[in-house]
Amino acid sequence: MNERDGIRLLEYLDRRLPPGERAEVEAWLARDPEARRLLAEHERVWALLGQECPAPDVADSPDFRARTLRLAEQERPAALLPFRARAVALLAASLLVVVVGWAWWSASRRSGLSESDRAVVGQLRVLENWDFLQAHGRELDMAVKAEVLSHLAGELPKEGPR
């Protein structure tokens, strides 16, 4: 028997066919002894499944119930937020980690120096000029001194160290 006819027979056995199609199958069975034999064997095997395979012997157990309820209770706090809210919170936390991580990474790439070290480096030229003036101030005439002081004034930061 091909699968198409087999499925028709299955639906007939399971009483799934509308009356018209059911009558068609009955007419087919009436004129085809082989189909009748097949149908009888299927009915027999189906009935045997019910007789020889009773429900597994599983019993309710208070211990099982108590354990299950306890486990469910333990899951409760995590499950208080609805699923969508938990998903949004997880996404927001991930984004925060990424942003903070990126900020830290880019800051550390910009300079390995601390804030106070950067202030000293910013004033390096000023300090060099100042040292030069201290060392050679007496030997210099006023015009040179004035020029050095003018350079110094130009190099001094306007709003404190950067």
Partner 1 sequence: MGSSTPTPAVVDGRDLMKAVSAGEPGAFERLVSTYESRIKAAVARHIVDRASVDDLAQEVLLRLYRARDRYEPTARFETFLYRIIFNICVNHTQYSRRRRHMGFRQGAEDDEPGVPLPADESSLPPPREIELGERAKLLHSAIGRLPDNQRRALLLSRFEGLAYEEIATVMDTSLQAVKSLLWRARENLRVALADRLDEANEPTSESRHE
Shortest distance in whole angstroms from residue 41 CB to partner 1:
5
Identify which of residues 24 and 43 has a Cβ nearer to partner 1 in the complex: 43
Q: What radius of gyration do the chain's Cα atoms show?
A: 46
* Contact pick of 82, 106, 110, 142 for partner 1 (by CB under 8 A): 82
Chain positions 19 to 58 lying near partner 1, rule: CB under 8 A, are: 38, 41-58
Q: Measured between alpha carbons, how far is 145 from 139 in angstroms, rounded to an integer?
A: 9
Should residue 155 be labelled a site residue for partner 1 when binding is judged by CB under 8 A?
A: no
80 by DSSP, 3-state: which? coil
Should residue 77 be labelled a site residue for partner 1 when binding is judged by CB under 8 A?
A: no
Q: What are phi and psi of 34, to 5 degrees?
A: -65, -40
Contact assessment for residue 139 and residue 133, using Cβ atoms and an 8 Å cutoff: no
Shortest distance in whole angstroms from residue 34 CB to partner 1:
13
Shortest distance in whole angstroms from residue 78 CB to partner 1:
9
Shortest distance in whole angstroms from residue 22 CB to partner 1:
14
Contact assessment for residue 157 and residue 122, using Cβ atoms and an 8 Å cutoff: yes
81 by DSSP, 3-state: which? coil
Contact assessment for residue 45 and residue 16, using Cβ atoms and an 8 Å cutoff: no
Site residues, partner 1 (CB under 8 A): 3, 6-7, 9-11, 13-14, 16, 38, 41-61, 64-65, 67-69, 71-73, 75-76, 79, 82-83
